[in-house]
A and B are shown apart, each in its own frame.
Chain A
Amino acid sequence: MNTIPVEAGLILAGILFMLGLISVLVRRNIIFMLISVEIMLNAAGLAFITAGAKWMQADGQIMFIFILTMAAAEVSVGLALILQIYHQLKTLDGDAANKMKG
């Protein structure tokens, strides 16, 4: 099989990360923000796997496992918080939770 340049993998990770970033900045709905964060985390994990494949070590994959674990925990806690916000504010608007302003 022909070899893939490592830059391609990293650039792919970068593109996915940028897309996730755009989505976080644009979206006003909290759930969409959470989804976008997941996209970004996934892209970071892809970068790690690529790096691990380049150096032919298992460390990249181990890092990806950790990222995965963290993402899972984060999503569960985040969703619980979203439920609470929806319960209190009756809306999924992120701008409604601005009591910390000033």
Chain B
Amino acid sequence: MITFYIAATVAVLATIMVITRYNMIHALLYLVVSFLAIAIVFYVLGAPFMAALEVIVYAGAIVVLIIFVIMMLNLKQEAVDQEREWLTPNTYVGPALLSIILLAELVYMISTSGNTPIQDNVIEANKVGYSLYTTYVIGVELCGILLMSGIVGAYHLGRQKKKVVHRFLELKEE
């Protein structure tokens, strides 16, 4: 139980750090920390397979993908300065207000519905797999199609039709 609360605290703090960084890579590193903490929470809640999956796919694939793209964009210090310029404290006021209102309502809804404890129960991977391939096999197929469309879409949209000229050369053209 203590594990849960510590991991929860780490996750929240890491997320707060994500949303306040000016440098993208820093934010992504904090995001990885946040995901790892969430993976621990999953393990405590009795979903070990999901914890593994979170680390492998989310932290290991998705975040890495984002890092690759950022590297590809070859952003310089000016991106950090731009972000510093855009992210002033008083831009946080409006969204923070709205989000706090929403959070308050959510907390209210959740806490009025009773205080049931979670049983100390682990749901094994094979149970998950079994349920996945019998009851929810349609979902599996659809996920397959989704992933394929993701691949095709990413390939097609990422194609550059024009010849990519190096940035130094680009500036010299008129």
Chain B: residues with CB nearer than 8 A to chain A? 1, 4-5, 8, 11-12, 15-16, 18-19, 24, 27-28, 31, 34-35, 38, 41-42, 44-47, 49-50, 53-54, 57-58, 61-63, 65-66, 69-70, 72-73, 75, 79, 82-83, 86-87, 91-92, 94-96, 98-100, 102-103, 106-107, 110-111, 113, 115-121, 123, 127-128, 130-132, 136, 139, 143, 146-147, 149-151, 153-158, 160, 164
Is the Cβ of A18 less than 8 Å from the Cβ of B102? yes
Is the Cβ of B31 less than 8 Å from the Cβ of A76? no
Which secondary structure dominates where chain B touches chain A?
helix
Is the Cβ of A76 less than 8 Å from the Cβ of B27? no
**B46 to chain A: which residues have CB within 8 Å?**
53
A67-102 vs B, CB cutoff 8 Å, 1 = contact: the mask equals 011111111110111111011000011000000000
Is the Cβ of B45 less than 8 Å from the Cβ of A53? yes
| Closest CB in chain A relative to B113 CB, distance in Å | 8
A19-B12, A62-B132, A87-B160 as given contacts; A82 in contact with B1, CB under 8 Å: no
- Size of the A side of the interface (Cβ < 8 Å), in residues, is 71
| Closest CB in chain B relative to A33 CB, distance in Å | 11
A3-B118, A49-B42 as given contacts; A71 in contact with B103, CB under 8 Å: no
Pick from B100, B132, B156 the residue with the most CB of A within 10 Å: B132
Separation of A4 and B45 alpha carbons in the complex (Å):
8
Other A-B contacts than A19-B16, A62-B139, 5 sampled, CB-CB below 8 A, are: A3-B117, A19-B99, A21-B99, A68-B58, A69-B146
